[in-house]
Amino acid sequence: MSVADDKERLRDILEGGEYKAYYDSGGESLWDIFGRWLRKLFDFFPALHVSDGTGSVIAYGLAAVVFFMLVWAIYWFSKQIVRHGRVRPGKPLLTDEELTWSLRDYMQKAEALKAEGAWRESVRFLFLALLFYMQERSWVTVEKWKTNWEYGEELQRSREGLVPLFRSSAGLFDRVWYGKEPINEADLTAFYEQVRSTVRETEASRDAQTD
């Protein structure tokens, strides 16, 4: 197709009825249409008078309100989904067999995996050791499908002082286990010592209270 043909086709389009109708209408925007719709709506209420300018202002105002309500609704629903544990991993954190293990079993498994260089798996067992330690103290109840958020809420009610430690431990676990973030030996050792010292300190405090 030549340039002359293109020009002729463009002329036909510009002279077409649909284009002229749009051009004659001034090319109304969606805001104009929305404002006109509002004015028609207010026609049902004779006591209220809405001018063209006022209709546009109301249209912008309503659009802003709807936008902020939508943003707030998305935020609220996202928060509720996380808060109530509806977003869960594809697999449970624990197997049926692991639910029968003791705190000592988890600590020993974590140590063995660390020695083998399986650091990612070691992080998982250290975190599970922390969970089962808290269960032994009746601060939380470990379940296969329970989320870290739910454990945190339980701990908030039963042992608020340990919440910061649990949150940081859960964050490390999530990044390494689910996010597959690399972890070095120094950070793994620090995590191991943190879990072990927490168990020892709490046990020592309990023994002192017993005496």
> Could you tell me the CATH number of the domain that includes residue 106?
1.20.120
Domain annotation covers residue 43: yes
199 lies in the same domain as 151: yes
Distance CA 186, CA 192 (A): 10
Distance CA 67, CA 23 (A): 30
pLDDT at 87: 46
Provide the 8-state DSSP code for 198: H
Distance CA 161, CA 176 (A): 25
Last residue of a domain, one of 25, 60, 83: 83
102 lies in the same domain as 186: yes
**pTM of the predicted protein model:** 0.57
Per-residue pLDDT of the chain (211 residues; tens, 9 = 90+): 565 666 666 666 555 555 555 555 555 566 666 666 766 666 665 555 555 555 455 554 555 555 557 666 676 565 555 444 444 456 777 888 888 999 999 999 999 999 999 999 999 999 999 999 999 999 999 998 888 999 999 999 999 999 999 999 999 999 999 899 999 999 999 999 999 998 887 555 554 444 4
pLDDT at 61: 58
112 lies in the same domain as 205: yes
pLDDT at 206: 52
Alpha carbon 49 to its chain's center: 46
- Which of these, 122, 126, 169, 118, lies nearest to 148 by C-alpha position? 169
107 lies in the same domain as 206: yes
pLDDT at 203: 58
Length of the chain: 211
How far is residue 51 from each of residues 39, 41, 43, measured CA to CA in Å?
Answer: 8, 13, 11
113 lies in the same domain as 184: yes
103 lies in the same domain as 175: yes
Domain range for 199 is 98-210
Domain annotation covers residue 9: yes
Last residue of a domain, one of 22, 55, 83: 83
| CB 188 within 8 Å of CB 114 | yes
The tokens of 51 are what?
A: 């001018």
The tokens of 27 are what?
A: 């090319």
142 lies in the same domain as 54: no
Please tell me the total count of domains within the chain. Answer: 2
